[in-house]
A and B are shown apart, each in its own frame.
Chain A
Amino acid sequence: MSLSTNNIWELAEMYLAGSLSQESFTQLKARLATDSAFATEFYEATDLIRSATDSGKHKRFKNMLRDIHREQEKKETGSKKATKHVIFTPEFWRTASIAAGVAILTSTITIWSLKPSMRKNESRYNMISREVKGLQIAQAQQLQKQQQLEKNLDTKTRKGFAPTSDVMRTGTGFALSNNGYFVTAYHVLHDENGYGDSVYIQNHDGQYFKASLVTFNAETDVAIMKVEKSGFRFGKGDLPYSFAPAKAALGSHIFTLGYPTEDISYSEGYISARNGYDGNGMQYTLELPVGYGESGSPLIDSKGNVLGLLTAVGSQAEEKTYAVSAKAIMELLHKLPDEKSIKLPKASHIGRMNREQQISKMEAYTFAVKVYKK
């Protein structure tokens, strides 16, 4: 027989995924009809795979429910005026399109490293992304309106240029040196949906600046970019923070600034494990509440040292946040031929300030990174 494989499990998998060729499918049916021992084995295999797949899906769903319940309880005890309706934020598009066939992701972030493989369930993926579209339209229109407003505002009051195409992904970035070099998470620029057409940063004043990729390491999830405008400066003085030379201690208190929405947002927590996801030594594990759009946000200790950048959030029941260590940024920098044009800050200027002052000093150097696609 000319079935594409002799392994009954592989055959069962392909059969369930609908990926058998027409010819193999016909062959399989013929054999199932004539060979009863084979048929018994094959149906047991498909039943088992189906059960295991469904059972996993249910487990992930239950974990997510427990997680949502905890979160909502927290929200309610935290603030009485908590809204009861969760609105689909623009960030949802991204989740939805990737999430689709795969419950794991559904959860909190889309971590490149935790990302489930989409190929596993491609047909489902397509189906869902189409179905969610209806919900997107209203959001897209709203966003367009907003962009139009921003654009109008721009032409009136600013010299900056506002991109007109649709936002594909957003993240956060922060300055490496005042002359335009900055760092963000690589998965903000590129994931399963590919690269966008252009990348802009939008600073805390709302101004847009076009940026281009200088170098990246997809494995560590670090990308170094540069604002294209000549003579560009992030802020007036030197960078307020410095980069930590060594890995920080377990329990260190840390904070971050990022752009989960159009507004900059502050969050604080602590280092809960020395290594990151799956024991990754280039990462930290954090107890730090973050949202979509905060990928690439700086991880800063109380003395104003950058310890790394946020990359991912664990899914489902675990609420861990992961950050790439500053070491990965340094390694990437050292590989640059024009390393010298990036003058890293030597000392932190905000070590003795209180948190409010630290934040206000940092705002100019932390910005949204927006990826556009026509």
Chain B
Amino acid sequence: MQSQFNIEQQLLAALAAGDRAATEQIYSQNYHIISGWLQKNGGTSADAADLFQEAMVVLFGKAQDEEFRLTCSIGTYLFAISKHLWYKKLQKQHREPVPLHENKGDDDEDTGIAYEDDINTHKEREAHYEQLDAALDQLGEPCRSILRAYYHHDKSMQEIAASFGYTNPENAKTQKYKCLARLRKIFYAGMD
């Protein structure tokens, strides 16, 4: 299984970098398994899409950590995270009380807690990004668009200089720093 293992590691590294081909491969290898399981457990196909994508985002977050990549089996991890996410959702909706550690076999207490931790970290991170987005929204123009172009759309300073009408990337960069300073004021003021 050595080779399989290696490929998983490489896939995870490529996933962590946001590579599309790797993401597609992980997607197509796992989606049907999880979607099938979910539909046997009271979910719809729309639920499956949401759930699986959220599990992929958790995996993406974890895959940034090189050490995690060494020990992770993609299929097992995605399945476990999906299950936990789904049970959490059901609990929240009070549809039915579901024990979180249902399958003692492949999901013992310790790893169950580890998955919980990963999900909590993921939720905290999402909340943090939302706060940041809210702060960005409060910025005036051109700051909002410049920071979005740079951070969200991954444009280079050359491209930004060109599309925002700066004479050179250096000027655009100076403007970007001013915008960051403003963002910091709003963001950290909102924290209090």
Contacts and interface: CB of A to CB of B under 8 A. Distances in A.
Interface stretch (B71-79, B94-102, B103-111, B176-184): B176-184
A25 interface: no
Contacts of B155: 116
A104 B157 CA distance: 15
Nearest to B162: A278
Interface string A81-100: 00011101000100110011
Interface residues of B, number: 50
A64 B27 CA distance: 11
A81 B114 CA distance: 38
Interface in B12-56: 13-14, 17-21, 23-25, 27-29, 31-32, 49, 53, 56
Nearest to A93: B21
A44 interface: yes
Interface residues of A, number: 52
B21 A95 contact: yes
From B19, B28, B180, name the one whose CB has the most chain A CB atoms within 10 angstroms.
Answer: B19
Contact of A106 (B20, B156, B183): B20
Nearest to A56: B151
Chain A binding surface, main DSSP class = helix
Contacts of B171: none
B7 interface: yes
Contacts of B115: none
B51 to A, nearest CB: 12
B21 A64 contact: no
Contact of B57 (A62, A85, A100, A102): A62
Given A7-B177, A85-B28, 17 more contacts: A10-B173, A48-B180, A48-B183, A48-B187, A52-B147, A58-B125, A58-B129, A84-B28, A86-B21, A96-B21, A99-B17, A99-B18, A102-B17, A104-B18, A128-B19, A131-B10, A132-B13
21 contacts: A7-B177, A10-B177, A45-B184, A53-B151, A56-B151, A56-B152, A58-B57, A58-B125, A60-B152, A64-B18, A69-B49, A86-B24, A86-B25, A92-B21, A103-B17, A106-B18, A108-B20, A116-B155, A117-B157, A120-B154, A128-B14
